[in-house]
Amino acid sequence: MTTPIRLKKDAERRLNAGHLWIFSNDIDTNTNSLKNYSAGELVRIETAFGKSIAIGYINPQCLLCIRILTLDIHEKIDTDFFIKKFETAQSKRKALFSEKYYRAVFGESDRLPGVVIDQYNNIIVMQINTAGMENLKPFLMAAAQHVFKPETIVLKCDSSERSIEGLDNYFEVIGNELPNTITVKENNCDYQISLQDSQKTGWFYDHRSSRSQIAKYCENKRVLDVFSYCGAFAIPCAKNGALEVIAIDRSAAALKSLEENATVNHVSVKTLCGDALELMLKLQSKNEKFDVIVLDPPALIKRKKDIPAGEKMYQKLNEAALRLLNPNGILLSASCSMHLSAENLQNCIRRAGLNTKKELSIIEHCHQGPDHPIHPAIAETNYLKGLIVCT
């Protein structure tokens, strides 16, 4: 039996609009003190008038206090509950992809707040980000085994969100032994990656469509890939007939992986290791020019207070890229910062064009792939944006 928790008057409006979050200031703490609840506990949400409207889990230490699991107050949260959710998510992906390389579960967008699953053929990587889902882990694991039937499950639970939730990080392998490297197939390319040593869940599937979009501009062109990681942009650009591809990243390990992946795909990519801005300025000092540039930095704005500094850095990076671009050149500029809107990214690029005296035209928009669906009531799920501009 779930413990009831009562909301303030009209605080259910967000839920009625389809949202899955309840913040601590929405809760009637006079009726139920948050001290009476433990992190991850299942709760039954009531309106101010005592009507039960949803079941979720709570973390009383967090501002984002409750995440909704179901609006059916009679539904049992068990293995069968997660089997139904996973099957729904899987059916959507199977309709989109012929091979099992995709984000299989995308948290709130698949009505499973706090869980992300990436699939690598017969291996799945699960990231549990909240105390509520950590408590429900036995059900999650049993459901994942039933639906995905993986040979190996990797629990890569090391997100920054876990520290907010009061959780320790861990890495766990269940089932068959995890190989040192696995293969990722995307955009007619094969990539070898290490799940244990890689960032986040191993691969950034969200930019799949963007990589295909930019590759078509690269035939007989000189290409610069900035923040290249292990070559997800650089290699399809090279494979699409680029004259030369140069990749920049500050991680020597990522560039080594990129070089190995270039060999696997029978292409050549030159690498430069170091700070992206410094290396772009160095290339400018040597009068280097490129026909196509990819600028895909990590999230430069992690919190709202970082927005002014982050926008300045996005503009500075775009100015450096534009100064390296030939006339009639192509720039893909992207951002995965949730707190930077598509409009503000466009403004950063616009200002960069003015400061470098480049007349820019937007020719394409980039967006997260369909395996990262957007919850229509949760703006935070719509986080990846990009523009392809020409000079």
108 within some domain: yes
**Tens digit of each residue's pLDDT (9 = 90 or more) over 268-310:** 999 999 999 999 999 999 999 999 999 999 989 888 899 999 9
User: Do both 216 and 163 map to the same domain?
Assistant: no
pLDDT of 193 reads: 92
307 within some domain: yes
Q: Which residues contact 209 (CB under 8 A, 6 or more apart)?
A: 366, 367, 368, 369, 370
> CA triplet 215, 185, 244: central angle to 5 degrees?
35
Query: Tokens 């990681």 correspond to what residue?
Result: 229
User: Do both 327 and 381 map to the same domain?
Assistant: yes
Torsion of CA 166, 205, 57, 174, to 10 degrees: -70
**Residue 67 binned pLDDT confidence (cut-offs 50, 70, 90):** very high
User: Do both 109 and 226 map to the same domain?
Assistant: no
User: Do both 132 and 223 map to the same domain?
Assistant: no
Q: Are 324 and 358 in contact (CB under 8 A)?
A: no
**Residue 55 binned pLDDT confidence (cut-offs 50, 70, 90):** very high
What is the number of structural domains in the chain? 3
Domain end: 51, 70, 89, which one?
70
Query: Tokens 């950063």 correspond to what residue?
Result: 348
Domain end: 37, 70, 103, which one?
70
| Residue span of the structural domain in which 101 resides | 79-178
User: Do both 278 and 315 map to the same domain?
Assistant: yes
Decide if pLDDT at 212 tops 80: yes
At how many degrees (to 10) do helices 79-94 and 137-148 cross? 40
Q: Pairing between strand 64-70 and 101-106?
A: unpaired
**Tens digit of each residue's pLDDT (9 = 90 or more) over 110-134:** 999 999 999 999 999 999 999 999 9
187 within some domain: no
